[in-house]
Amino acid sequence: MAEFDAGVGRDRLVTESDMRDLSYLKACIREAFRLHPYHSFNPSCVAIGQNPRAFDDPLEFRPERHLLLAVGRTASGVVVWLVEPKLWFISFSTGRRGCPGLSLGTLITVMLLARLLQGFHWSKPPGVDRIQLREAAASLVLADPLVLQATPRLPAHLYESETQ
Ligand code: HEM
**pLDDT tens-digit series, residues 76-112:** 678 899 999 999 999 998 899 899 999 999 999 999 9
Pocket test for ligand 1, best of 34, 36, 92, 94 (most atoms within 8 A of CB): 92
pLDDT at residue 138 tops 90: no
Atom of ligand 1 nearest to the CA of 91: 5
Which of 118, 161, 151 lies closest to 7, judged by CA? 118
Q: Which residues line ligand 1 (CB under 6 A)?
A: 38-39, 41, 90-93, 97-101, 104-105, 109
Q: What is the mean pLDDT of residues 22-31?
A: 95
Residue 55 has a CB neighbour count (10 Å cut-off) of: 19
- At 38, the pLDDT band (50, 70, 90 cuts) reads confident
Residues 6 or more apart whose Cβ sits within 8 Å of residue 13 = 115, 118, 119, 154, 158, 162
Pairing of strands 149-152, 120-123: antiparallel
- At 57, the pLDDT band (50, 70, 90 cuts) reads very high
Cβ atoms of residues 14 and 4 within 8 Å: yes
Q: What separation in Å is there between the alpha carbon of 42 and the centre of ligand 1?
A: 12
Q: What separation in Å is there between the alpha carbon of 89 and the centre of ligand 1?
A: 15
Q: What separation in Å is there between the alpha carbon of 137 and the centre of ligand 1?
A: 23
Residue type, 155: P
pLDDT at residue 47 tops 70: yes
Q: Extract the annotated binding site for heme.
A: 99
